[in-house]
Amino acid sequence: MTTLRQFEYLVTVVDTGSFTRAAELLHVTQPALSHQVRALEKAVGGPLLERLPRAVRPTPMGRAVLPHARAALADAERLRAAALSAAGLAGGELELATVYSVSLGLLPPVLRAWRAAHPEVRIRLREFAHTEDLRAAMTAGQADVAVGPLPAGWEGPIRELGTEEFVLVLPSDDPEGADGAEGADGAPVPLAALAGRDWVHYAPGNGLADVLDAACAEAGFRPGVAVRTEQTAAAPLLAAAGLGPALVPANIVPPGFDGLVRRPEPPVRRPLVAYTRTRPDALTTAFVELLSRRVRLLPDIAAGGAAGGEDGGTTGGAKGGTAGSPDVPTDGFS
Share of the chain above pLDDT 70, in %: 84
Beta bridge partners of 202: 229
What mean pLDDT is predicted for residues 10-33? 91
Q: What is the pLDDT of residues 76-98, one digit of tens each?
A: 877 876 776 666 676 778 999 99
What is the secondary structure of 229-262 as a DSSP string? ES-TTHHHHHHHTTS--EEEEGGGSPTT--SEEE
Residue 312 has pLDDT above 60, yes or no: no
Report the pLDDT value the prediction gives residue 281, as an integer from 0 to 100: 86
Give the mean model confidence (pLDDT) for residues 141-168: 92
How far apart are alpha carbons 148 and 144 in whole angstroms?
14
pLDDT for 299: 61
Q: Which among 133, 134, 125, 130 is positioned nearest to 96, based on CA atoms?
A: 125
Give the range among 1-5, 94-98, 242-246, 306-310 with minimum mean pLDDT. 306-310
DSSP 102-157: HHHHTHHHHHHHHHHH-TTSEEEEEEESSHHHHHHHHHTT--SEEEEEPPTT--S-
DSSP letter for 16, please.
H
